[in-house]
Structures are given as structure tokens and as C-alpha cells.
């Protein structure tokens, strides 16, 4: 048993963290709000050069041939900087589904090379994030999973309370788009996509929680009232300690869910929903406590805190609301054929190895 | 103990309800339910006209003594007034700082001359006020104010220099009441004065602050040798008067607030019924809790107001702010959770928020302004329970 990441994974995470802290500043995010596309294509190219876009693309298609567990901490880093570009969608959602559906090697190569950006439609949400920045969209129609050229589709933009998010309703003619999967395969891949989407969201929520906590610790160490930093007051400390606890306890479910997805374990639905709820609660608490300890400054447009709060509030309802994930958990645990008890809950047959 | 209103009070209710039905119509139809907290940037001009309409009907400053243009209403009648106002969807009052804060303070501490000078403008809805308390270094620690007041012998007036922040609607105001340091050697709450400053003078500059709603209800106000028209009380009494004013804030004006909260809760319940969220166990529970919390708020307020009527900061009043702020913040979250993933979608670019979205974002600040939840708890523990004070730096 080893619930840690290896040195390579940690080093890659560190280099991505450095890269993002230099390249995805809050200033650059604010600049995107006013631009037409709201996205940075040059950044996408840089991410491709780092091997990020092709992380899950098989090696024989020019990718790194790595897996979900290798990407999960990087998805967290995307959350930490509130990355506007759809890296998680392209890498964690689109790539595995395209591979499983037997998509063209050329397409996969193009993703790895940073030439093809993907956007993915969740059946849970009608709108598609980043559809107009994407080159290819994975969408649903009449029980089929469809791969669509962005050029063939028509988009209607829908803005978000998070000024960084760009959502679109998508329309296309029936003869446009290539059927990726139909019938049983489509159902299977759609279910898989839901879990990948929820997992990617969980990881980003974890990163967002951490970032808001870091901002709050920094602010309360600087801000002085009553002759000392407000972080020295116990009430303030305890708020942030509570966020730290919740965030820490959200890591294991998220990483565990990544493992379950990677190993295609039978309990994957349960683990993904648990991760989603844990990470969501951590981010929501980090936002709530974060703005509280920032005081009135936290309520301004000028302070960076709202960039992360608004992303957290938006992502907390993406790929299934907390209510939907709680219902899935409840349905699973309370179903007639689900066995619980120490002998079952903590060890499943697929884990035994 | 008597928890219902008697016949005379009910007749009064009919009277005010009738007046509102007749007057909150026509040109004022569009501003019903608008312009309240979080919505104060909307319909400024219309609400100024409404304020004057209210004044003409004799419905401003109803709690003030008749000698100052009020109606001298009893507590019961003031409760009824605020309830009917909120029930009818009366818009946020542009005169609320004058009527609820500056006015009662001037009545309490002003000279006859000062009362004559300032009270009519408030009562008639022709002069609007803003509050100059907080500064960048004096938020929770208000006693840390640095804005100076120096007496200028040549101009025979106090001159104010410094910066105030979070000043609601400063850009719409005619007057500002300012806490400033009269004794340069003094520290903290000593050596302060309470000044009345005309906003329309060269030495006063207002700069809007954008909130995370994308709108600007708050401002920075820079005073550069601005002339104070008056000082209330004596130099050195600024803290005493400034704190007494805050005591008025927890008074009768809170009653209408609960009715407005009821309007908001009703809107959320209606939405939950329409979109099916009302079937979810979690949502049902939270709606029940919201309902209970609101009833508790009302009963506590009525108990509080049945007690001796003054502006003192007793612990019942302090508990009230913490309770409504936390309740309202939860309500905002409930609204978003009822909306689900739709809750993030804007009505229109560039950043037009729906009422429930505004409610959610604005209520993030409820537990911060007017004394943070943390400060409230400290005061409850230290003053209410007599516990040892938290050491200062």
C-alpha cells in the first residue's frame, strides 16, 4: 500500500506550479476579461511544449502516455491559478474518451502538439464551457457521443458571474459532426465522462481552496488593527485553521478517486462523488472564511480574492451539483445490493492486489 | 405581555397601507422592491423623488418627535409603519442615513440652532447624508482614526483633512458626519470630534469603489482642508457621540428589514417550487431553517424594542446584528443553491446580475459591515458577559 505520489510526479507538479505562477497571473486573468476571445492561445502553445496538453495521449501519438493519477495534481494546479483555458477538459476529459472511442491518431497527435483544443459538453449542463476557443467539441445528441468541428457549429455566448468563464449553447446540423460512439458504448463513455468531469472539477476546487487559504493567510499576516496583525487574533486563526483542516481532508478523496478512475474500480462512482463533495465543501468554506477574514477589502473588485471565489462557486455546480452527487452517494450506499460493514467498506475485491 | 396590535394601531395600519397603495404607483411603480441594500446603485433619481413624495405625505421621520417634523409614533406604530412599507414594496430610502442616524443624533446632542439648521432638510427629503467613520487603517479598529480636525482661527471654523472609506452613497450626499481627531496628541478614542461637513465644497473629493458585484455603492472620500459646518457637542466628545449614533442603527429601522427579508425568502421559496428544488431534502430543510431564523429575528426585535427606548448598546441589540447578518448570508447561499448551475449565468453582459445573484454577492458582506461577526462576538463576550478583554497590540 502506498498512498503517495512518486518523485517524478511531484517534480512535474512543482515545475507546473512554477510555470503557472509566472504565466497565469491574476493580472493576466483580468486582461482576458476584456479581450474578445478571453483566452490565451500562446499560453496553450507553451503548455503543449511542456508536455501538458499531450499528457494522456499515448506515446505512439506523440503524447507522454501518462495516466489520470499523473494528471490529478496538475489539475489541482490549474485550480490554484484559476486557469481560464480548458486544459483539464482537453487532457482529462476529452483525451481518454477519444482514445476509448478509437479516435484518429492524427487527432490525438494534434492535441499533443497543442494544435487542437477540446471542449466537452456535460449532459448535466446544457452549456459548453470554452466552446468558441476550442477546435473540437465532444457533444451529445440522441444517445450518441459526437465529435464536432468548432467551425461547423453555431455558438450563443452566455456570460457567467465568474468573468473568466465563457459558456456557450451549441447548435449544429445532424450531418455535421462525426459519431464517436453510439448505443452501449456511448452510454458507457458518457458515464465515464461524467466521472472524469466531476474528478477534474474536484481537483480544481481543491486547488482553489488552497489558493484562497494562502491569500487569506497572507492578508491576515499583513493587515493590522488594534496594534497587531489581525491573524494574531484567535477567531481569525480558527477560521483559517478550519479551512486548512477541510482542505487537507479533501486531498485523499480526490487522489483516491483519481486512482479508482485509473484502475476502473467498481466503486468509482462512489469515490468520485465523495471527492466532488469534499473538494466542493473545502472550496466553499475557503471562500466564505476567506472573504470574512479579508474584511471589507475582500468585497472589492480590486482584490484578487473574488477571482477565485467566483470560480469556486461556478465549479461547485459543474458536472453535477452537490445535491446530485449526494443523491448518487445515497442511492449507491442504500441500494439493495450494496454491501457495507468493515469487511466490505474498507476493502473491495478490486483493491486487494 | 401582548403580542397583537390593538384597534387604534390596526387603524393606523390601514391608513399607511392606503397611502402607500395610492402613492407607490404610476411613476413609482418601477421602483417597488428596489434600491435596498445591495441594490442601492439603482434608481437614484426616482428614489430621491419618492423621498420627497413621502415627505409631502408626512411619512418621513415618523419616529421623530412632532416638534422636529416627525409623528412621534409609538414603537408599535413604527413597527406597523415599517412592516406596511416593506409589504408594499417600498423602495430603499435614500434618506435612511439622515432619518435613522444623523437626525436622531442631532436631536440628542445638537443645539437648538443645529436642530433648526439640519433637521428640516432630512425631514423634507431635500438633503441627503452619508457616514464618515471608517478609514483604511480604521475598520474594525475605528478608534484608530487619523482624519484630523484643526481649528482655523482665520476662517473661524474647523478644517477636516484625511480619508474616509466605505462611505455609502457619498456621491449622492449633501452632508457627511465625520469622526475626526481634534487633539493631535491624543490616542484611540480620546481627543475626537463629531463634525458635520458639507459635501459640496472643493476640499471634498469622492472616488467610487467597485465591489465584487461590479457596481459601486461605496466610495473613498478625501478631505483636504474641508470646512466643517458644525461640530456636534464638544471636541473630545466625538467617540461618545459616534457610538451613540451606532446605537440608533440597531433600533426601529430593523423592523422593515425583517419584512424585506420575508419578501426575499418568499421569492426563493416560489423559485424552489417552480424549478423543483423544493423536492430536495437538503433544500427543504434549509428553507425551514430560514423560516425559523426569521421568526426568531422578529420576536427578538420586538422584545428588544419593547424595552427602554434609547440608543444604548445593550447586548440584546448586539446579538441582533450577528443573527440577522449570518441569517441573511445563509439566505443568499440558499438562493444560489436553489438556482443550481443556472445561478452563475448572467442576465446580460457586461455584468448584469439578477436580483438573487445580487442578493448572494451582497450578502457576502453582511457579516463584515457594521461590525464583523468576530467583533460582535468579542463585544458580546466582553461587555455582555464581562469576560476578560482580548489583549491589544
Given pLDDT bands bounded at 50, 70 and 90, which one contains residue A347? low
User: Do B340 and A317 lie within an 8 Å CB cutoff?
Assistant: yes
Give the closest of B165, B341, B372 to A318, CB-based.
Answer: B341
- Picking from B144, B212, B353, the nearest residue to A300 by CB comes out as B212
Burial of A113 per CB tally in 10 Å (0-12, 13-18, 19+): middle
* Helices A322-334 and A268-294, axial angle in degrees (round to 10): 140
Q: A300 touching B, CB under 8 A?
A: yes
Of A158, A236, A313, the CB nearest to B374: A236
pLDDT score, position A188: 96
> Cα dist. A99→A103, A201, A278, A320 in Å?
6, 21, 29, 24
Q: B129-237: which CATH topology?
A: Butyryl-CoA Dehydrogenase, subunit A; domain 2 (2.40.110)
pLDDT of residue B254: 72
Which residue of chain B is at minimal alpha-carbon distance from A303?
B212
B386 CB burial (10 A radius; 0-12, 13-18, 19+): exposed
Alpha-carbon distances, residue B92 vs A297, B31, B43, B58, B154 (angstroms): 25, 9, 10, 17, 42
- The Cα of B46 is separated from the nearest Cα of chain A by a number of Å equal to 27
Q: Are B55 and B123 in contact (CB under 8 A)?
A: yes
Q: What average pLDDT does the structure give for chain A?
A: 95
Name the pTM for this structure. 0.94
- For domain B7-94, is the CATH number 1.10.540.10? yes
- Interface probe with A: pick from B341, B368, B369, most Cβ of A within 10 Å: B341
B135: which strand partners?
Answer: B138
Low-confidence ranges of chain B (pLDDT < 50): 311, 313
pLDDT per residue as tens digits for the range A301-343:
999 999 999 999 999 999 999 999 999 999 998 988 888 777 7
> What confidence score (pLDDT) does residue B303 get?
80
Q: What is the domain partition of chain B in residue ranges?
A: 7-94, 129-237, 250-384
How many angstroms separate the CA atoms of A298 and B363, rounded?
13
Say yes or no for a CB contact (<8 Å) between A160 and B280: no
Q: Which of B144, B337, B374 lies closest to A235 in CB terms?
A: B374
CA distance B62 to B60: 5
The C-alpha cell at A176 is 455535421
Q: What is the pLDDT of residues A141-168, one digit of tens each?
A: 888 999 999 999 999 999 999 999 999 9
pLDDT digit string, tens, across residues A101-142: 999 999 999 999 999 999 999 987 789 999 999 999 999 988
Q: How far apart are CA A264 and CA A349, in angstroms?
A: 12
Quote the ipTM score: 0.91
**Chain B contact probe: residue of A123, A129, A225 with most B CBs at under 10 A:** A225
What grid cell was written down for A345? 467498506
Phi, psi of A166 (to 5 degrees): -125, 115
- Residues from chain B that touch A124, judged by Cβ atoms under 8 A, are 341
| Residue B54 neighbours by CB distance under 10 Å | 24
Output the CATH code of domain A185-351: 1.20.140.10
- Give the pLDDT confidence of A10-63 residue by residue, as tens digits: 999 999 999 999 999 999 999 999 999 999 999 999 999 999 999 999 999 999
Number of Cβ atoms within 10 Å of the Cβ of A187? 13
Contacts 24+ apart (CB under 8 A), A259-265: A259/A69, A261/A68, A261/A195, A261/A196, A261/A199, A262/A67, A262/A68, A262/A69, A263/A350, A265/A348, A265/A350, A265/A351
CA distance A223 to A221: 6
User: Measured between CB atoms, does A125 come within 8 Å of chain B?
Assistant: yes
The pLDDT of residue B251 is 65
Between A226, A306, A322, which is nearest B392 by CB?
A: A226
pLDDT at B385: 86
Burial class (CB in 10 A: 0-12, 13-18, 19+), A58: middle
Whether B390 and A301 lie within 8 Å, measured CB to CB: no
Residue B350 belongs to what H/E stretch?
A: none
The pLDDT score that the predictor gives to residue A135 is: 98
Residues of chain B neighbouring A296 (CB-CB closer than 8 A): 134, 139, 165-166, 365, 368-369
A64: helix, coil or strand? coil
What number of C-beta contacts closer than 8 Å exist between A and B?
Answer: 107
- Measured between beta carbons, which residues in chain A are less than 8 angstroms from residue B211? 299-301
User: Domain B250-384 belongs to what topology?
Assistant: Butyryl-CoA Dehydrogenase, subunit A; domain 3 (1.20.140)
> Does a cis peptide bond (omega within 30 degrees of 0) precede residue A85?
no
Question: HSE of B226 in the Cβ direction (CA atoms, 13 Å)?
Answer: 31
B220 is an active site residue: no
pLDDT tens digits for range A227-270: 999 999 999 999 999 999 999 999 999 999 999 999 999 899 99
Terminal Cα distance for chain B, rounded: 47
CA dist., res. A52 & res. A30, Å (int): 24
Closest chain A residue by Cα to residue B208 = A300
Per-residue confidence (pLDDT) for residue B334, from 0 to 100: 98
Q: How far is B380 from chain A (nearest CA, A)?
A: 14
Contact B346 A160 (CB under 8 A): yes
Q: Could you give the CA distance from residue A107 to residue A351 in angstroms, rounded to a whole number? A: 34
What is the model's pLDDT at position A353? Answer: 38
Distance in Å, alpha carbon of A169 to nearest chain B alpha carbon: 12
User: What is the pLDDT at residue B310?
Assistant: 57
**Greatest Cα pair distance in chain A:** 70
Distance CA B50, CA B29 (A): 11
Task: Tell me the pLDDT tens digit for each residue of B288-329.
Answer: 999 999 999 988 887 877 776 554 546 566 688 899 999 999
Amino acid at each position: 500500500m502506498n498512498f503517495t505520489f512518486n518523485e517524478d510526479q511531484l517534480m512535474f507538479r512543482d515545475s507546473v506550479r512554477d510555470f503557472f505562477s509566472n504565466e497565469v497571473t491574476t493580472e493576466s486573468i483580468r486582461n482576458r476579461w476584456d479581450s474578445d476571445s478571453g483566452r490565451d492561445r500562446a499560453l496553450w502553445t507553451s503548455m503543449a511544449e511542456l508536455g501538458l496538453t499531450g499528457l494522456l495521449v499515448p506515446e505512439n501519438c506523440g503524447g507522454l502516455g501518462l495516466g489520470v493519477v499523473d494528471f490529478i495534481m496538475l489539475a489541482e494546479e490549474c485550480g490554484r491559478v484559476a486557469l481560464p483555458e480548458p486544459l483539464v477538459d482537453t487532457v482529462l476529459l476529452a483525451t481518454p474518451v477519444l482514445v476509448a472511442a478509437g479516435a484518429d491518431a492524427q487527432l490525438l497527435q494534434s492535441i499533443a502538439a497543442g494544435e487542437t483544443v477540446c471542449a466537452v459538453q456535460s449532459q448535466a449542463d446544457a452549456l459548453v464551457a470554452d466552446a468558441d476557443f476550442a477546435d473540437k467539441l465532444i457533444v451529445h445528441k440522441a444517445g450518441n457521443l459526437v465529435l464536432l468541428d468548432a467551425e461547423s457549429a453555431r455558438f450563443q455566448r452566455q456570460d457567467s458571474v465568474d468573468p473568466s468563464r465563457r459558456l456557450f449553447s451549441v447548435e449544429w446540423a445532424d450531418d455535421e459532426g462525426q459519431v464517436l460512439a453510439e448505443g452501449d458504448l456511448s452510454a458507457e463513455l458518457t458515464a465515464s465522462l461524467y466521472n472524469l468531469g466531476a474528478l477534474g472539477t474536484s481537483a480544481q476546487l481543491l486547488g482553489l481552496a488552497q489558493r484562497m487559504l494562502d491569500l487569506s493567510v497572507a492578508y491576515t499576516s499583513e493587515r493590522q488593527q488594534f496594534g497587531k496583525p489581525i491573524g494574531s487574533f484567535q477567531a481569525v486563526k480558527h477560521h483559517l485553521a478550519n479551512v486548512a483542516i477541510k482542505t487537507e481532508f479533501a486531498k485523499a478523496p480526490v487522489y483516491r478517486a483519481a486512482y479508482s478512475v485509473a484502475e476502473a474500480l467498481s466503486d468509482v462512482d462512489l469515490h468520485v462523488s465523495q471527492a466532488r463533495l469534499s473538494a466542493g465543501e473545502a472550496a466553499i468554506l475557503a471562500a466564505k472564511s476567506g472573504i470574512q477574514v479579508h474584511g471589507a477589502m475582500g468585497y472589492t473588485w480590486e482584490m484578487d480574492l473574488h477571482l477565485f471565489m467566483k470560480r469556486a462557486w461556478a465549479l461547485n455546480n459543474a458536472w453535477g451539483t452537490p445535491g446530485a452527487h449526494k443523491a448518487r452517494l445515497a442511492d449507491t450506499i442504500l441500494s439493495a445490493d450494496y454491501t457495507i460493514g468493515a469487511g466490505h467498506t474498507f476493502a473491495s475485491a478490486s483493491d486487494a492486489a | 405581555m401582548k403580542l397583537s396590535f390593538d384597534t387604534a394601531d390596526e387603524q393606523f395600519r390601514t391608513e399607511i397601507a392606503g397611502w402607500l397603495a395610492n402613492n407607490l404607483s404610476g411613476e413609482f411603480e418601477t421602483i417597488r422592491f428596489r434600491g435596498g441594500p445591495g441594490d442601492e446603485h439603482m434608481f437614484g433619481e426616482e428614489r430621491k423623488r419618492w423621498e420627497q413624495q413621502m415627505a409631502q405625505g408626512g411619512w418621513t421621520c415618523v419616529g421623530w418627535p412632532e416638534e422636529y417634523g416627525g409623528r412621534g409614533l409609538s414603537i408599535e406604530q413604527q413597527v406597523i409603519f415599517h412592516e406596511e412599507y416593506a409589504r408594499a414594496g417600498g423602495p430603499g430610502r435614500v434618506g435612511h442615513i439622515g432619518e435613522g442616524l444623523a437626525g436622531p443624533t442631532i436631536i440628542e446632542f445638537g443645539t437648538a440652532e443645529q436642530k433648526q439648521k439640519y433637521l428640516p432638510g432630512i425631514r423634507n427629503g431635500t438633503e441627503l447624508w452619508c457616514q464618515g467613520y471608517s478609514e483604511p487603517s480604521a475598520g474594525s479598529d475605528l478608534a484608530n482614526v487619523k482624519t484630523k480636525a484643526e481649528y482655523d482661527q482665520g476662517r473661524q471654523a474647523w478644517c477636516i483633512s484625511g480619508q474616509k472609506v466605505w462611505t455609502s452613497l457619498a456621491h449622492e450626499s449633501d452632508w457627511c458626519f465625520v469622526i475626526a481627531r481634534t487633539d493631535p496628541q491624543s490616542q484611540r478614542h480620546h481627543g475626537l470630534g463629531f463634525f458635520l461637513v458639507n459635501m459640496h465644497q472643493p476640499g471634498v473629493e469622492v472616488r467610487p469603489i467597485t465591489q465584487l458585484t461590479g457596481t459601486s455603492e461605496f466610495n473613498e472620500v478625501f478631505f483636504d482642508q474641508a470646512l466643517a459646518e458644525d461640530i456636534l457637542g464638544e471636541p473630545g466628545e466625538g467617540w461618545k457621540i459616534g457610538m451613540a449614533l451606532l446605537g440608533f442603527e440597531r433600533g426601529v429601522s430593523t423592523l422593515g428589514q425583517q419584512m424585506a427579508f420575508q419578501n426575499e425568502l418568499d421569492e426563493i421559496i416560489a423559485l424552489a417550487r417552480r424549478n423543483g428544488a423544493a423536492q430536495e431534502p437538503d433544500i427543504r430543510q434549509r428553507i425551514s431553517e430560514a423560516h425559523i431564523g426569521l421568526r426568531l429575528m422578529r420576536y427578538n426585535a420586538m422584545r428588544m424594542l419593547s424595552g427602554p427606548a434609547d440608543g444604548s448598546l445593550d447586548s440584546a441589540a448586539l446579538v441582533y446584528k450577528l443573527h440577522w447578518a449570518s441569517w441573511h448570508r445563509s439566505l443568499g447561499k440558499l438562493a444560489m443553491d436553489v438556482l443550481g448551475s443556472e445561478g452563475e449565468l448572467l442576465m446580460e453582459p457586461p455584468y448584469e446580475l439578477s436580483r438573487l445573484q445580487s442578493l448572494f454577492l451582497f450578502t457576502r458582506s453582511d457579516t463584515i459591515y457594521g461590525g464583523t461577526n468576530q467583533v460582535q462576538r468579542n463585544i458580546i463576550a466582553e461587555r455582555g458577559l464581562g469576560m476578560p478583554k482580548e489583549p491589544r497590540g
